Amino acid sequence: MAETPIAWNPRLLETLVPDTQEDLPVQIRMLDDGLDVPAYATAGDAGADLCSRVDFSLAPGERLVVPTGVAIALPEGYAGFVHPRSGLAARYGLTIVNAPGTVDAGYRGEIKVCLLNTDRGTTVHLSRGDRIAQLVIQRVARAEFRQVPELPQSVRGTGGFGSTGGFAVGTGSPAGQDGFRGDGTSRA
């Protein structure tokens, strides 16, 4: 006896998987009444969209600090992280210089985004109100640093900067031409 296939319903997942995201009250002050309050595009999104407060253009290789018109007061134990928008990165080569930018719980000023046009030949033009970044709010721990004479051993050890691989042998940059020796130390 043949089984009848079940048609996929995107809302089915919402009924099967409980909502694990918690709502966190965050105080916000809009510094520009003409802009939308940051919002999540779809249910389950991690990042709320931040928009530009100004019209601007970025020539190839140029960077600019762009105001968003948003100031927030995060609860202690949380931080905001400003991430690039993947669509802007893929289509225009637009990224954030200090990605992710950090918004500390004690900061009360306007959130600004340091954008960089990585495209080699095309100027990027964006308008006031365009979505330029995403704000991800996360719980953070405050480390209590304890100086020790030796660190405990680990599987990875001191290997860094590509020491775990990630590309097939012979397909990466020629040995030593990426600025690092095979032992992970800089040639500089």
Checking if the pLDDT of 101 tops 90, the result is: yes
Beta bridge mates, 113: 66
125: domain CATH number is 2.70.40.10
Q: Is residue 105 part of a domain?
A: yes
pLDDT, tens digit, 9 for 90 and up, residues 40-61:
999 999 999 999 999 999 999 9
Checking if the pLDDT of 21 tops 70, the result is: no
Q: Is residue 31 part of a domain?
A: yes
What total of structural domains would you count in the chain?
1
The pLDDT score that the predictor gives to residue 181 is: 47
Q: Is residue 51 part of a domain?
A: yes
pLDDT, tens digit, 9 for 90 and up, residues 127-157:
999 999 999 999 999 999 999 999 999 988 8
Each as own residue / partner, the long-range contacts of residues 94-98 (CB below 8 Å, 24 or more positions apart, any chain) are: 94/58, 94/118, 94/119, 94/124, 94/132, 96/133, 97/63
Report the mean per-residue pLDDT for the chain: 86
Q: Is residue 161 part of a domain?
A: no
Identify the helix (H) or strand (E) that includes residue 117. strand 112-117
User: What is the token pair recorded at 94?
Assistant: 């637009």
How would you class 113 by CB atoms within 10 Å of its CB: exposed for 0-12, middle for 13-18, buried for 19 or more?
buried
Residue 117 lies in domain:
22-139
Checking if the pLDDT of 186 tops 80, the result is: no
User: What is the token pair recorded at 23?
Assistant: 């709502």
3-class secondary structure for 70-116? EEEECCCCEEEEEEECHHHHHHHCEEECCCCEEECCCCCCCCEEEEE
3-class DSSP assignment, residue 182: coil
